[in-house]
A and B are shown apart, each in its own frame.
Chain A
Amino acid sequence: MANFTLNINGTKQEMDVDPATPMLWVLRDHLKLVGTKYGCGIAQCGACTIHLGDNAVRSCQLPVSAVAEQKITTIEGLSENGDHPVQKAWLEVDVPQCGYCQAGQIMTASALLEKNPNPSDTEIETAMNGNICRCGTYTRIKKAVKLAASSKNV
């Protein structure tokens, strides 16, 4: 066990956990921020995607000890009122089926658009390829990413 002070969604959080604990379980079990999902635990599905600084990372592979001062954003902190352009586009296109993968999809898409505000189809596919949607909402996700890109650019 060791003490950590984390900066999560703009709030400082103190905790005493095993330094090897992946952020996924710190968020879910210790902080009860359960929007970040478990799907595979081995960096294959993207359900656990969060932002570390400005980068989309797999929280199941990120030990709490590696985070240090870096800013962490989870789906709960992506926007004040669920009005991030990517969230709005998701609602507009009515993307979700079961919805389980969508937090991860949204976190990957929002990080992509920060870096590349006008991604091509291929760039969207490449960036999103690590996020599995078992329900098969891929065509809608792509539509929503493009919609978010166009609304961000106006």
Chain B
Amino acid sequence: MTQIKTQYNRRSFIKVSAAAGGGMLIGFSWLNGCKPNTPEPEPGVAVPNEWFEINGYIKIGDTGKVTIYSPNPEIGQNVRTSMPMIVAEELDVPWENVIVEQAPLNTGWYQNQFAGGSLSIRLSWNALRMAGATGKRMLMEAAAKEWGLQVSDLAASEGIIKESNGERTISYGEIASKAVGLEVPEEVELKAVKDFKLIGTSQKNVDGKKIVTGEPLFGLDFHRESMQLAVIQHPPAFGMKVKDFNEDEIKGMPGVHDAFIVDTSFEDSDRFDEKGFLQLITIVGNSIWELLQAKKALKANYETVGELESSGMHSKRLEKALVSGEVQESRKDGNPDAAFKKAAKVIERTYTAPFIAHNTLEPMNFFANVTEDSAELIGPTQTPEALEGSVSKLLGLPLENVTVNMTRIGGGFGRRLYVHFGVEAAAISKKIGGPVKLMYTREDDMTQGTYRPTYRSVYKAGLDQNNNLIAFTVKGAGLPEGPVFPNRFPAGTVENYSAEKIKSETNVTTGAWRAPRSNFTAGAEQAFLDEVAEAAGKDPIDFRLELFDRAINDPVGEEHEYEAERYAGVLKLVKEKANWGKTEPGVHRGVAAYFCHSTYVAEVFDIVLENDNPVVQKVWCAVDCGIVVNKDAAKNMIEGGVIDGIGHSMYSQLTFENGAPEQMNFDSYQLIRHSQAPKEIEVFFVENEIDPTGLGEPGLPPAIGALANALYKAKGMGHYHQPFISEKQIVG
């Protein structure tokens, strides 16, 4: 066991009591109002008559049932199961007695109620363990008092407290009422990793049953009596603004209660307020179908207030930026120019990727109820705190008068880090003076995005006579941010190295998209390294391992951002699992490894050609994310990352003409489908005792590299320009 300071003190205890007594930990029963089925009896112990708040994460019922609040937004990364598992481990209760509820935004008690950057578990690991451990400690203190003993005379496990030198036992449920109000201990003991019973097992999604029976869970499913519905219309192109529309005609249409232009601008906006259009035509009513008819009948005038950009223009801008753009970050070791002059072989390749949309399957939506002095927001957000701040700025209300509650989220991928749709709902609610749920159509969602930027990078490598890599350079530009991480691999492995991250400009709104920049960089770099290995006459895995040896034994430069041993570790693991070096005839194999969001992933792809079409037969993944909390769910995340990587690099792109996105729905914007998914994916984890790191993003980037490398083998040509399906150029 490890002794650890809880970081709780008297003050935080007061906050806990306030949370418990002041009704802040509200139940989310409002989402379950319209379920026709009678629920099956729950597993584990009976439903309690009385509940006792132990701390902001834990409530214990008189029967021993335990409610654990999951603090973070659930976007499909399964934190509503894995976060409570961590609490339950340290609290030491049987998992079948645990019920999970979504906590509201409460910055006084929880830390980092944020779903992004694969950070949920990483940042909350200690806080969740401490919440469980303090709960256990308080229950033990209550039992000790009851029996006139010291806590050190007791042991607790599986929800039962025992007297170490005696016969007496008492369950958490029986003692819970006495633990309420005890002071939160300032020091508790955490379990040793080897004593984990729950962490590291596979537990099913706590919402599985609700999902497969269609219970209301998502923002779009939210309903409240007297709530109205709203749809919006934004300008067709970036660089345009709404001027006016046929208001009278629209207001007279069936089912339309109101129609107006809503202004959602406010001072002091920050990066989570990124949005394309500040003024929106809004139509309010009771039936989405009627609102959609009214939307179709809109005749609006727009004015051009900025440049109307096209994809051709974007490519030129990127090319130009690579020559003369502003360098945002860079690194240089040795003298690459001189080394290239000496090199026996020089290889140079250019890689590009288009803008892509997030396309969460649940389109943007939010519920808002704004009154004179308060605002209540309910819906799918990855950043409830940012939304609270923005709504408070928009309405000029103090933060404490704004509440944000989180529903389950039908996909995030970074899209719901941005809060404009919640802000828009608040502005509409204020305007109509009542509760409203705003819904984007798919077209609204796809054409007012915070897109993955378009990128262009040039990689160059020099080999000496003995096929040693003596120089490596990369220059990458993006609209707006460049896709280069100067201190990541291969920094530290090559004597003469330079990396330049270059920015350019666009008025198309962009933002974080699952594994920002890594989602492009990994594919480009790993595909490039395979060509360099080929030119050097080396096996791709051996070639990479040689570079990691250099970083381990004699690193170049002051520092680099990865642990070479762990990087090499996943490559070795995937090599063994995939039986690297042995393939059936007609099977083409590619490998890639990448490190981002503190996690290392290596993947091997086997593809075959059917009528010249590539089919991914099997994918092996080796992952080092430290301690794995929920094994099968962790595999699910990696599988999803692999499929997402294949899908977007192979099929998806958003192009622009005169400022307008040319794809507006899934008929023209291709997403990967069943028949295009790999036939099999196997995921393996490196076992260690390192604190857990993220899983939401790291599975995706290497998939693009491994796919490109397998395609190279299959087709005998490189794949440099995403989406690969429309690849025309043979060499970039």
Contact = CB atoms under 8 A, between A and B. Distances in A.
Interface of A: 9, 17-18, 20-22, 25, 28-30, 32-42, 44-45, 47, 74-82, 87, 90-91, 94, 96-103, 106, 121, 124-126, 128-142
A25 B674 contact: no
A96 B211 contact: yes
B418 to A, nearest CB: 17
Contacts of B292: 41
B678 A139 contact: yes
B163 interface: no
B34 A32 contact: yes
B675 A97 contact: no
B75 interface: yes
A22 B209 CA distance: 27
A138 B300 CA distance: 41
B37 A81 contact: yes
Interface string B517-548: 00000000000000000000000000000000
10 contacts: A20-B289, A25-B289, A28-B288, A38-B363, A78-B213, A97-B77, A97-B637, A132-B673, A137-B636, A138-B674
Main SS of chain B's interface residues? loop
B36 A77 contact: yes
Contact of A42 (B211, B643, B667): B667
A126 B217 CA distance: 29
Contacts of A30: 287
B212 A136 contact: no
B213 A75 contact: yes
A102 B680 CA distance: 20
Given A25-B288, A82-B37, A76 B213 contact: yes
B76 A139 contact: no
Interface in B671-693: 671-675, 677-681
B218 A41 contact: no
Given A40-B442, A97-B637, A99-B211, 11 more contacts: A9-B36, A35-B215, A36-B214, A41-B441, A81-B38, A82-B37, A94-B204, A96-B207, A98-B75, A99-B76, A134-B671
B707 to A, nearest CB: 14
A97 B218 CA distance: 13
B411 A98 contact: yes
Interface in B60-93: 75-78
B677 A138 contact: yes
A98 B362 contact: yes
Nearest to B38: A81
A76 B671 contact: no
A128 B209 contact: no
Contacts of A29: 229, 286-289
B359 interface: yes
B34 A97 contact: no
B217 A99 contact: yes
A98 B205 contact: no
B639 interface: yes
A40 B446 CA distance: 10
B205 A100 contact: no
Residue among A35, A99, A103 with the highest chain B CB neighbour number at 10 A: A99
B404 to A, nearest CB: 19
Contacts of A32: 34, 223
B408 interface: yes
Contacts of A96: 76, 205, 207-208, 211-212
Interface of B: 34-38, 40, 75-78, 202, 204-205, 207-209, 211-218, 220-221, 223, 229, 254, 286-290, 292, 359-363, 408-413, 439, 441-442, 632-633, 636-637, 639-644, 647, 665-667, 671-675, 677-681
Contacts of A75: 212-214
A129 B289 contact: no
A97 B212 CA distance: 12
Contacts of A9: 36
Nearest to A121: B679
B211 A37 contact: no
Given A90-B212, A97-B637, A98-B411, A136 B642 contact: yes
Residue among A9, A98, A133, A135 with the highest chain B CB neighbour number at 10 A: A98
B220 A40 contact: no
A41 to B, nearest CB: 6
A107 to B, nearest CB: 9
A91 B287 contact: no
Given A21-B289, A35-B214, A100-B410, A128 B674 contact: yes
B675 A44 contact: no
Nearest to B677: A138
Contact of A102 (B211, B254, B360, B644): B211
Given A94-B632, A96-B205, A22 B675 contact: no
Of all A-B residue pairs in the complex, the 4 with the closest CB atoms, nearest first, are A35-B214, A136-B643, A98-B76, A100-B410
B666 A34 contact: no
Contacts of A76: 35-37, 213-214
A90 B208 contact: yes
Nearest to A22: B289
Given A91-B208, A100-B218, A18 B290 contact: yes
B34 A34 contact: yes
A140 B410 contact: no
Contacts of B38: 81
Given A129-B675, A132-B673, A42 B665 contact: yes
Contact of B359 (A41, A129, A134): A134
Contacts of A80: 37
A139 B442 contact: no
A119 B287 CA distance: 39
